[in-house]
Structure 1
Amino acid sequence: MKQNNWILIVDDDADLALLVADFLEMNGYQTKIEHNGAKAVECIINEQPMLVILDVMLPDMDGLSICRAVRHGHPGLSGCYNGPILMLTALNNDIDEVAGLETGADDYLAKPVRSRVLLARVRALLRRKPEPLVEEKFTKLPSKNDDVIAFDGLDIDKKYQRVQQHGEDVELTTAEFELLWLLASRAGEICDRDFISDYFGDLGYESSHRTIDLRISRIRRKLGDDPSHASRIKTIHGKGYLFVGD
């Protein structure tokens, strides 16, 4: 399956889509625009853009349905999309943000879109860049490498944005990886939600306490860490989260 070096903008507002495209191209990115939701699903899965900017409110197929379809597969199309998805919406509330993240979006931005914030989000999401020449799994990682954290079978590689657990790849979104890296790099310390929000703010995100909790839940599930008796990422009630090392 091909992977292309351009950003797909999915929005039925032709003027806004063109403004976003022009702004991104002024900052060195190639773009394509799609106004139709069903066609967007086909384009995302078949063409594999490096990032998708997806409006929630579309007339034919809403953004949440598009996100769900490209993440989990769509009838008549082979494969799915694992690249970053940034959702845009005119509805600025926590419930909509959580809904977007639950369908597989990496980040969420409310309209009206501020160009500099959008650019910061795009850059943060694109920090997760696969290394096409490295095919082998990394089972032994040098402990002196500042870009690598290794704990009892869990290997986190910052440079390549890769995670393995007991030799098996763990697929995380960009935001999930950044959160796991933050907690793991401070193993044994309690990180409260305000601290985590500030960290994501520096990356161009706006993260509420609810979205942090949701991302923690998704990371735990992918790591097989039972939330009822979490052994890797513990909830310290009234304080925050604690990553447990070896």
Structure 2
Amino acid sequence: MMNGKDNNWILVVDDDIELAQLVSGFLETNGYKTKVEHNGLKALQTIITEQPALVVLDVMLPDMDGLSVCRQARHGYPGLEGNYDGPILMLTALDNDIDEVAGLETGADDYLAKPVRSRVLLARVRALLRRNPHEVPPLPSTETQASEPVEDQAVIKFDDLVIDKKYQSAVQNGKVVDLTTAEFELLALLASNPGVICDREFISAHFHKLGYESSNRTIDLRVSRIRKKLGDENHPSTRIRTIHGKGYLFVGDR
């Protein structure tokens, strides 16, 4: 269940009326209040003026497509005051990675290709609603050996970076790093294998288990966004190194 704020509901935006009702009904069965909108421009107005807890947004919409809705919600729209910084989960029926890349670049937090599996949708919704970049969750007092982190560790610690898988939180120099769900999963995967080259096939296989369809382009884009949020945009990067022709290598304590 979501908390008791006035925006305690999820907006489902899809021009397929039957599908929108199915998604809405499924979410309500699992304890979430919902509203449904079928028109892009009307959805944008609702997002900015009513500030839902989360938006499930289809790419193909009448009047204004989902990518434009996402972009305008993030950066503002003429005649509407403010913008939206809550989580946006985008849906598309198109079977290629161009829409995923475009969606992530316009400000979406996560992405699912249709047909959407209900359990995967629920998992993504729960993860996005749990994420709170302004609050640092409590960490266990026991120390984790930085030199030998393993994949199933709940907390991974390095010199200036703490990654908590249970709370899906990354803290750098005492400040929370505002990562999307997919970005956190990728960072946690790389950090669980410090000093090991993770090729794109390995990364894609990991994301496939989580219900993602990840291409090389989306992996590269997410790495680029993680680097930016970690302040690791130097060439070469000092935290997540590109090993040309092979993949990515996470550097632990530097």
The TM-score normalised by the length of structure 2 is 0.82
Shift, 1:78, TM fit: 2.9
One-letter code of the match for 2:11? L
Change (3 A) 1:137 1:28: closer
Indicate the residue corresponding to 1:8 in structure 2. Answer: 11
Indicate the residue corresponding to 1:80 in structure 2. Answer: 84
8 Å Cα contact 1:7/1:50 also seen in 2: yes
Which of 95, 114, 130 aligns to 1:92? It is 95
Residue 198 of structure 2 is aligned to residue 197 of structure 1:
no
8 Å Cα contact 2:48/2:83 also seen in 1: yes
Change (3 A) 1:196 1:141: farther
8 Å Cα contact 2:177/2:230 also seen in 1: yes
Shift, 1:46, TM fit: 4.6
Indicate the residue corresponding to 2:182 in structure 1. Answer: 175
Residue 74 of structure 2 is aligned to residue 71 of structure 1:
yes
Change (3 A) 1:191 1:136: closer
Aligned-pair RMSD on alpha carbons? Answer: 2.9
Indicate the residue corresponding to 2:127 in structure 1. Answer: 127
Which of 168, 176, 198 aligns to 1:161? It is 168
CA distance in 2, matches of 1:160, 1:139: 9
Shift, 1:65, TM fit: 1.4
One-letter code of the match for 2:251? V
CA distance in 2, matches of 1:78, 1:139: 35
User: Secondary structure at the residue paired with 2:235?
Assistant: helix
CA distance in 2, matches of 1:17, 1:40: 13
CA distance in 1, matches of 2:252, 2:218: 24
5+ residue gaps, structure 1: none
Question: How does 1:30-45 map onto structure 2 within 5 Å?
Answer: 30-45=33-48
The TM-score normalised by the length of structure 1 is 0.84
5+ residue gaps, structure 2: 146-152
What does the per-residue CA deviation read over 1:133-175, in whole Å, with 9 as the maximum and x for residues that have no partner? x956879964249422222211222222222222222211111
Which of 6, 18, 24 aligns to 1:21? It is 24
Which of 225, 229, 239 aligns to 1:222? It is 229
Corresponding residue pairs, total: 241
Change (3 A) 1:53 1:162: same
